[in-house]
Amino acid sequence: MEGRPLKESELVERAKQGDEAAYGDLVQAYQGIAFRTAYLIAGSAADAEDAAQEGFVKAWSALHRFRPGAPFRPWILQIVANEARNRRRAAGRRAHLTLRTVAATPSGEAAPSPEANAIGAEQREELLAAVNELREEDRLVIACRYFLELSEEETAAALGWRRGTVKSRLSRALGRLREDMGEESYA
């Protein structure tokens, strides 16, 4: 976008009037998070892309139903996640999350940043393996809240649950993860 960046609400308002460029900006802004959310749910990159594209096309047709002033992100995530679920159902797959390989880091030392140092590489692998092993709804709620950093409201929209359900399932999922990782690791 050139000049003063338009606020999201202005983009939505313009898109509602039929301004395709404004809608294009919204697609740009949210395609990343929409795609990753769809990937978690659908389990494959191809299905996720398909779901995200279909979701954005449907959302355009449904813009007249969008409540003015509401945040766009949970709304689009809900639509895209629905598409993703429909694609997953047939295949019964789940996204297998893996860690980026950090080639430049010599083993056991000189991690790139203090944050990355929070836990060691081995522990990360272990933790991710434990997350991947969780039952689907536990894995999804953890991935939405911590990996995609969705808010509670956005998680609820994406997973089609109530907010209270997100809260309770998250706490249950964390409890299971603590058990799986061994009590002493993350007491």
- Positions in the binding site for another protein (CB under 8 A): 20, 23-24, 27-28, 31-32, 35-36, 39, 45, 48-49, 52-54, 56-58, 60-62, 64-65, 82-83, 85-86, 89-90, 97-102, 115-116, 118-119, 123-124, 127-128, 131, 142-143, 146-149, 159-162, 174, 177-178, 181, 186-187
Of the two residues 10 and 57, which places its CB atom closer to another protein in the complex?
57
Nearer to another protein, 4 or 90 (CB): 90
Please state the separation of Cα 26 from the chain's center in Å.
17
- CB-wise, 10 or 146, nearer to another protein? 146
Contact 59, 141 (CB under 8 A): no
Which CB sits closer to another protein, 10 or 116?
A: 116
Which long-range contacts does 166-175 make (Cβ < 8 Å, 24+ apart)?
166/141, 169/137, 169/138, 169/141, 170/141, 170/142, 170/145, 172/138, 173/134, 173/137, 173/138, 173/139, 173/141, 173/142, 174/142
Phi, then psi, of 90 in degrees rounded to 5: -65, -40
Q: Least CB distance from residue 135 to another protein, whole Å?
A: 14
Name the maximum alpha-carbon separation found in the chain: 57
Q: State the minimum distance, in angstroms, from the CB of residue 4 to another protein.
A: 21
* Residue among 73, 25, 77 at smallest CA distance from 51: 77
**Shortest distance, CB of residue 137 to another protein, whole angstroms?**
8
CB of 143 to another protein, least distance (A): 8
Angle (CA) 49 70 78, round 5°: 30
Minimum separation from the CB atom of position 65 to another protein (A): 6
Smaller CB separation from another protein, 10 or 24: 24
